[in-house]
């Protein structure tokens, strides 16, 4: 069945460091791909999405490119801030069935 695998956390970085959180997926067909973020004490919110191969989603300095050849959707940010500390979830939507990864906690130190 369809599934999402993302790197285990926690990931601890210093402010202004480069961030990569890996996400790979297994799906039939052509799913849409998402990154959601959950800040401490808040609900899940959409960070970015891509609906077809080679699309790049971007928001708040974060980017992810839909790579069909490697079935990946890695999240990147060039310079993280303390305020980026949160749990990040990779997800896919395939024919209106949604699957989430297990989440990666990011801690950014000042």
Query: Which residues in this chain contact another protein in the complex, by CB under 8 A?
Result: 4, 31-32, 42-46, 49, 51, 89, 91, 93-103
Report the distance separating Cα 20 and Cα 74, nearest Å. Answer: 7
Give least dist CB 95 to another protein, A.
Answer: 6
* The pair of three-digit structure tokens given for residue 85, joined into one six-digit string: 């500390």
Nearest distance, CB of residue 71 and another protein, angstroms: 16
For the CB of residue 93, give the shortest distance to another protein in the complex, in Å: 5
Q: Which residue, 12 or 14, is less far from another protein as judged by CB?
A: 12
> Which distant-in-sequence residues (6+ apart) come within 8 Å of 42 by Cβ?
none
| DSSP code of residue 103 | -
Nearer to another protein, 76 or 99 (CB): 99
Give bridge partners of residue 32 from the DSSP assignment: 93
How far is the C-alpha of 74 from the C-alpha of 11, rounded, in Å?
Answer: 14
Are the C-beta atoms of 18 and 2 separated by less than 8 Å? no
Of the pair 76, 93, the CB lying nearest another protein is at: 93
Least distance between another protein and beta carbon 79 (Å):
26
Nearer to another protein, 48 or 80 (CB): 48
């Amino acid at each position: 069945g369809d599934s999402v695998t993302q790197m285990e956390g926690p990931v601890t970085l210093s402010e202004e460091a480069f961030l990569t959180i890996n996400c790979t997926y297994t799906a039939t067909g052509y799913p849409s791909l998402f990154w959601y973020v959950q800040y401490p004490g808040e609900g899940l919110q959409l960070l970015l999405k891509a609906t077809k191969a080679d699309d790049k989603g971007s928001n708040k300095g974060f980017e992810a490119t839909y790579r069909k050849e490697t079935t990946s959707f890695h999240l990147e940010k060039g310079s993280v801030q303390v305020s980026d500390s949160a749990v990040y979830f990779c997800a896919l939507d395939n024919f209106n069935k949604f699957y989430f990864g297990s989440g990666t906690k990011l801690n950014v130190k000042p």
